[in-house]
């Protein structure tokens, strides 16, 4: 994509733009609380913690021995007649997919929602090759019509109102569609049905790849995942190398964790397990199946203090509970992944220079750690990234100055007393606190809040007086 918000704007600028949209701040919490309630209800009689522990064990054992499992996966795919392609980075992944489309003489492509294809910015490359690309997930379809970006891992148009969706679809229809979610969905169904039937290639991601059986697993609700992998004559699945699971059995643990944490469902409407192209006696299905295994910075995380992030199953739950994400939405993060997982992945995949400020966009409340179905210590990872940024000297000068003065003042009892005593006295003077709130370092923070007054007598003094 030529337009790259991450390098062109700062988090603060993007956040301010998003905060100006009142709908976002009500829509995101409304939708995400719904998922959290459903999750609680579903697991009321069950040991969710026990399931998380199993999920975390499966993921960490798999990632700890990633290469072994990948080798098995590749061998099992090959045995099933799946053509496997290794992509070290986004450019290689795009090149593979473009070549497969070219070799197949493809003209029309249907896509199933996939964060990995967003990550490699696939659509513009295919369109540049003259292909017609249609996103078939309702939300992604609207994102594509509007030339927008998805703002949530599993609910791409959580930031859009029904009216906005109506306007976009009405443009396609060439008439004013009624303001009714059911009618709008019906229109999209009919329009996209032609796309499925006419497509030469279906491109999906992969929620999991099972090494034991050489199976790509897709988890969807609308049925577009099934359509896109059944109708076209070629199926390409782009899979992050970390998505491997050793055994089919593991799905009995990972599926309820993914759907429970993601949408609060017991199971999504469709769970599709694809182990190859159409067999000789099968009535339908693609003649070719390709899997493109995407590294793009993942392998480099193995053996580092960030390895745990590879356990992620992209359920989106950490976004749902993040007090920052709930206010600013996904676009403020500037790249593909938003919320806590985005604040971790973006600096790791895009570098500290571009993504380094994202780990600051967290109150470190730990809500993400508590909800993550595979127990990724997100807030530790955020802290490590913050530290790394300072170590690398990537933090701005002002920030480093404030931090070192702070550290100096608070690291001895007497300096702390003097500094807090002076600060408290000064803040009692009306004009000082007003100026501080308006122009001082607190100005940005004080925009939406009033600056709290320090107590006249600090706590440590009160205790020693008693």
Q: Which does 315 bind (CB under 5 to 8 A by kind): ligand SF4, another protein, none?
A: ligand SF4
Among 58, 239, 312, 336, binds ligand SF4 (CB under 6 A): 312
Cβ at position 251, least distance to another protein in Å? 5
* Closest distance to another protein from the beta carbon of 85 (Å): 19
224/388 with CB nearer another protein: 224
- Which of 235, 314, 331, 389 is close enough to bind ligand SF4 by CB under 6 A? 314
Contacts of ligand SF4 in 170-209 (CB under 6 A): none
d(CA 362, CA 341): 11
Q: Smaller CB distance to another protein: residue 221 or 424?
A: 221
Does 318 bind ligand SF4 (CB under 6 A)? Our answer is yes
Total of chain residues touching ligand SF4, rule CB under 6 A: 15
Pick what 301 binds: another protein, ligand SF4, none; C-beta below 5 to 8 Å, kind-dependent.
Answer: none
By C-beta, is 286 or 340 nearer to another protein?
A: 286
Q: Taking CB within 5 to 8 Å according to partner kind, which of another protein, ligand SF4, none is near residue 316?
A: ligand SF4
Residue 147: name its binding partner from another protein, ligand SF4, none (Cβ under 5 to 8 Å by kind).
Answer: none
317 contributes a contact to ligand SF4 by CB under 6 A? yes
Sheet with strand 132-135: strands edge to edge? 83-87, 288-294, 234-240, 201-204, 108-111, 132-135
Residue 372 binding partner per list ligand SF4, another protein, none, with a CB distance cut-off of 5 to 8 Å that depends on partner kind: ligand SF4
Contacted by 136, from another protein, ligand SF4, none: CB < 5 to 8 Å by type: another protein
Residue 202 touches which member of another protein, ligand SF4, none, C-beta under 5-8 Å by kind: none
Stretch 357-376 residues interacting with ligand SF4 (CB under 6 A): 371-374, 376
Can you tell me the distance from the alpha carbon of 131 to that of 69, in angstroms, rounded to the nearest whole number?
A: 35
- 345 scored as a contact of ligand SF4 (CB under 6 A): no
Least distance from C-beta 57 to another protein, angstroms?
Answer: 6
Q: Which stretch binds ligand SF4 (CB under 6 A): 287-295, 310-318, 351-359, 439-447?
A: 310-318
**What residue 133 binds from another protein, ligand SF4, none (CB within 5 to 8 A, per partner kind)?**
none
Cβ closest to ligand SF4, residue 145 vs residue 302: 302
CA-based nearest residue to 149, from 14, 279, 41: 14
Q: How far is CA 10 from the centre of its chain?
A: 19
User: Shortest Cβ distance from residue 384 to ligand SF4 (Å)?
Assistant: 15
Q: Does the protein bind ligand SF4 through residue 165 (CB under 6 A)?
A: no
Q: How far is the CB of 321 from ligand SF4 (least distance, A)?
A: 8
Q: How far is the CB of 340 from ligand SF4 (least distance, A)?
A: 6
State the binding partner of 103 from another protein, ligand SF4, none, CB within 5 to 8 A by kind.
none
142 binds, among ligand SF4, another protein, none (CB under 5 to 8 A by kind): another protein
Residue of 35, 39, 253, 315 that binds ligand SF4 (CB under 6 A): 315
Q: How many CB atoms lie under 10 A from the CB of residue 114?
A: 25
Which of ligand SF4, another protein, none has residue 267 at its interface (CB below 5 to 8 Å by kind)?
another protein
CA-to-CA separations, 381 to 60, 309, 361, 364, in angstroms, rounded? 15, 8, 13, 10
| Min dist. Cβ of residue 95 to another protein (A) | 27
Residue closer to another protein (CB basis): 198 or 295: 198
* C-beta closer to another protein: residue 174 or 283: 283
Taking the complex as a whole, the smallest distance from the CB of residue 21 to ligand SF4 amounts, in Å, to 23
Q: Per the structure block, which two tokens stand in for 421?
A: 């005593």
Q: Please, which residue, 318 or 324, has the CB nearer to ligand SF4?
A: 318
| Per-residue H/E/C for the chain | CCCCHHHHCCHHHHHHHHHCCHHHHHHHHHHHHHHHHHHHHHCCCCCHHHHHHHHHHHHHHHHHCHHHHHHHHHHHHHHCCCEEEEECCHHHHHHHHHHHHHHCCCCEEEECCCHHHHHCCHHHHHHHCCCEEEECCHHHHHHHHCCCCCCCCCCCCCCCCHHHHHHHHHHHHCCCCCCCHHHHHHHHHHHHHHHHHHCCEEEECCCEEECCCCEEEEEECCCHHHHHHHCCCEEEEEEEHHHEECCHHHHHHHHHHHHHHHHCCCCCCEEEEECCCCCCCCCCCCCEEEEEEECCCCHHHCCCCCHHHHHCCCCCHHHHHCHHHHHHCHHHHCCCCCHHHHHHHHHHHHCHHHHCCHHHCCCCCCHHHHHCCCCCCHHHHHHHHHHHHHHCCCCCHHHHHHHHHHHHHHCCHHHHHHHHHHHHHHHHCHHHHHHHHHCCCCHHHHCCCCCCCCCCCCHHHHHHHC
- Return contacts of 174-181, CB within 8 angstroms, 24+ apart: none
Chain residues binding ligand SF4 by CB under 6 A are 261, 312-318, 341, 371-374, 376, 378
């Amino acid at each position: 994509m030529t337009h790259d918000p991450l390098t062109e704007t700062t988090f603060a600028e993007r956040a301010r733009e998003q905060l100006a949209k009142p709908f976002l701040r009500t829509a995101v919490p409304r939708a995400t609380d719904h998922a959290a309630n459903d999750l609680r209800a579903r697991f009321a009689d069950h040991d969710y913690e026990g399931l998380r522990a199993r999920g975390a064990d499966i993921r960490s054992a798999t990632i700890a021995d990633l290469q072994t499992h990948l080798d098995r996966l590749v061998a099992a795919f090959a045995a099933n007649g799946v053509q496997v392609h290794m992509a070290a980075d986004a450019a290689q992944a795009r090149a593979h997919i473009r070549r497969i489309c070219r070799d197949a003489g493809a003209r029309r492509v249907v896509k199933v929602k996939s964060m990995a294809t967003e990550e490699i910015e696939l659509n513009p490359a295919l369109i540049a090759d003259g292909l017609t690309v249609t996103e078939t997930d309702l939300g992604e379809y609207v994102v594509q019509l509007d030339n927008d970006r998805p703002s949530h891992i599993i609910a791409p148009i959580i930031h859009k109102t029904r009216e906005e969706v109506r306007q976009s679809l009405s443009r396609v229809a060439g008439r004013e569609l009624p303001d009714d979610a059911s009618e709008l969905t019906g229109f999209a169904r009919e329009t996209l049905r032609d796309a499925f039937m006419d497509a030469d290639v279906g491109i999906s991601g992969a929620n999991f790849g099972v090494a034991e059986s050489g199976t790509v697993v897709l988890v969807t609700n609308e049925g577009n995942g099934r359509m896109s992998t059944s109708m076209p004559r070629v199926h390409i699945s782009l899979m992050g190398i970390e998505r491997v699971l050793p055994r089919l059995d593991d799905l009995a643990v990972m599926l309820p964790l993914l759907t429970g944490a993601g949408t609060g469902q017991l199971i999504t409407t469709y769970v599709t397990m694809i182990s190859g192209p159409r067999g000789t006696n099968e009535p339908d299905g693609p003649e070719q199946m390709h899997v493109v295994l995407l590294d793009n910075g993942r392998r480099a995380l193995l053996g580092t203090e960030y390895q745990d992030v590879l356990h992620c199953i992209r359920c989106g739950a950490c976004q749902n509970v993040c007090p920052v994400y709930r206010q600013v939405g996904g676009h403020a993060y500037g790249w593909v992944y938003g919320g806590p997982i985005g604040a971790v992945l973006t600096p790791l995949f895009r570098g500290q220079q571009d993504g380094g400020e994202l780990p600051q966009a967290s109150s470190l409340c730990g809500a993400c750690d508590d909800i993550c179905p595979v127990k990724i210590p997100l807030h530790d990872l955020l802290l490590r990234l913050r530290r790394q940024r300072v170590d690398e000297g990537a933090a701005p000068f002002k920030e480093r100055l404030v931090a070192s003065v702070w550290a100096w003042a608070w690291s001895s009892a007497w300096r702390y007393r003097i500094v807090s005593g002076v600060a408290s006295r000064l803040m009692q003077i009306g004009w000082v606190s007003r100026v501080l709130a308006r122009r001082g370092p607190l100005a940005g923070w004080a925009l939406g809040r009033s600056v709290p007054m320090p107590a006249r007598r600090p706590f440590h003094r009160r205790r020693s007086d008693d």
